Amino acid sequence: MAITQLNAQQIQPDLSHISKLRNTTNTSTVLASEKSEHLLMWQPRVASALSLLCPTKRVCYSPRFMLLKAPESELFFDLFQHAIKCDLPSSPLGYSYFFSENKITLTEAKSKQDNFAAQDNCLFASSIDAEKLFGCVRQPENGPIKLQAGLVHRANGGVLILGLRSLLSQPSLWTKLKQMVIKQEFEWVSADESHPLPLSIPPMPLDLRVILVGDRLSLAELQDFEPEFYSTSIYTEFENELQIKSPEQLEHWIKYLKFIANKQQLPDIDTSAFAKIYKEATRYTGDQYYLTLSVDWINSLLVNATHFMQNSVIDESAITTAIKQKLWQENYLHERLHDEIFSNQIMINTKDQVVGQINGLSVIEYPGHPKAIGEPTRLSCLIHFGDGELIDIERKTELAGNIHSKGMMIMQAFIMSEFAIHHQLPFSTSLVFEQSYSEIDGDSASLAGLCAIISALSQQPIDQQLAITGSVDQFGHVQAIGGVNEKIEGFFAVCQHQGLTGAQGVIIPATNQRHLSLSDEVIEAIEQDKFSIWTVEHIADALYLLTGIPYKDKSGINLYQLIHARMQAVLLQDKKQDSWLSKWQKYCKK
């Protein structure tokens, strides 16, 4: 067996190495390095792609478009723009339009004050429209024509960063922009096709590099819209997480935190705060060995902490209070769901032993709510004489998603391969999520469902003090699932309300151990032996914890033998009835 009971240290990231770090970077050092530090120091893939888009020596065949999978936030755009400007040379001055009677001529700009001179070597816009992007032609009543510059003119000779979501909502803008950038020429057209331009306006040479920033869905939409565009563009991704394998990488991440704080003009981060931020970051990424690089998440946490500072620095106390305050603000729905369980409107048993009933763990995601909510759920299984069918009540009532249905089929395949090799299983089973009234999806309850079925088949009770989560394959191996922290904390809250017995706990897949970053309440309960977390690798391990009886054991009684004995008894009884019936039919024929 591969059963492990986790201690308090194993259910949270290792914070011991953080205390060894010295706060060697003081405020003066940070200020001195402000100009040299930029976002791309932590994004080598993006930096490499940018070097191809903006080479030191430009040639006619250099790519002009770059696709970047990254958040479309103003803060990210601002930091990204600053990083690009650090490595780009100054843009040419651009051009100027000169008005003379009824004629417009184009000349090269002589200063930044000229009407169409380039204003910067890199500009960005998360939201655009035709006028903002391309400028416009204005002709006031009884007045002279006026030309207004757009982003393409102000960034001419440099780089333009655009939010993809806004651009895709206006396909004509994207088509026009692409043609201009490829043709390297800006042509003035009337915004209203029924009213042509009053004067001929010379086209302007355009030398522009465009970076389109969007999430996975926006990039997929662009790929569907113009599949050939991907083959001629540079593609790269902003790395949302940093894998921590050494103290040097941890120091690199801490430097990133200080960089964000410095760019946002936030107070200094005290050394005591790093351990708390580290733990919260692993909880956000869902992995003890990965820390988030999300500029918006880091900025939000630090800004919230500034409201609770006591010594003009962001210390551990400020971070802890900010996290608790944010949790309280978001937890109304969470508390209402728990109240349903606490008042027995939703029944969860955490003390008895019941045949064919098990506490599963699930997460619920509500539209518009910022996070998933962990909630225990009761699964029950009944056995009756039949042809081996596994009746999934959720699927029968069309309340099951495709992945849930797949998990149920895998469970049925395991049961059939284990017990219906030489003859058909003489039982049918019905499995249901009790008090569930909406669609269920995912396979994280397949381990719980399979344990409930084996309990019902063997007629051996399951300890309701334990809850379980995990998926299984056709061979019974336990596989990792998501939302493990929320699931554990949801069951712990119920046990805590009903009274901790010391025997209560949660069974999770062994491969999920690295994803644990649990709350201080759960850690304290485990330290005091009031709650337990067990990891398993096979369904046999889970069944032993739940029933106290081995699944297969040659030295003594086991669940496998009990199920086979019950099957043989039913088959023998059925055979006797068939024999009696055949004799009666023969007698009647006489």
Looking at the annotation, which residues are catalytic? 444, 487
**Residue 464 three-state SS:** coil
- Report d(CA 496, CA 492) in Å as an integer: 6
Q: Which helix (H) or strand (E) holds 45?
A: helix 44-53
Nearest 5°: the CA angle 142, 146, 148 is 150
| Half-sphere exposure of residue 56: CA atoms within 13 angstroms, side-chain side | 0
Q: Token pair of 19, please?
A: 């205390």
Kind of pairing, strands 146-148 and 136-138? Answer: antiparallel
- Report d(CA 199, CA 188) in Å as an integer: 10
What's the distance, Cα to Cα, between the start and end of the chain in Å?
A: 61
Q: Which helix (H) or strand (E) holds 471?
A: strand 471-472
* Residue ranges in 184-230 assigned as alpha helix (H): 216-225
Neighbours of 491 (CB within 10 A): 27
Residue whose tokens read 């690798």: 537
Is the CB of residue 145 less than 8 Å from the CB of residue 196?
A: no
Burial of 36 (0-12, 13-18, 19+ CB in 10 A): exposed
Q: How many helices (H) and strands (E) does the chain have?
A: 21, 26
Contacts of 390 (CB under 8 A, 6+ apart): 408, 411, 412, 415, 428, 429, 431, 453
Is the CB of residue 30 less than 8 Å from the CB of residue 63?
A: no
Residue whose tokens read 């400007």: 85
- Report d(CA 355, CA 551) in Å as an integer: 15
Contacts of 382 (CB under 8 A, 6+ apart): 356, 429, 430, 456
Strands (E), 393-465: 427-433, 461-463
User: For 320-365, what is the HEC assignment?
Assistant: HHHHHHHHHHHCHHHHHHHHHHHCCCCCCCCCCEEECEEEEEEEEC
Is the CB of residue 492 less than 8 Å from the CB of residue 522?
A: yes
- Per-position b or e across 6-22, b if 16+ CB within 10 A of its CB: beeebbbbeeeebeeee
- Report d(CA 450, CA 460) in Å as an integer: 14
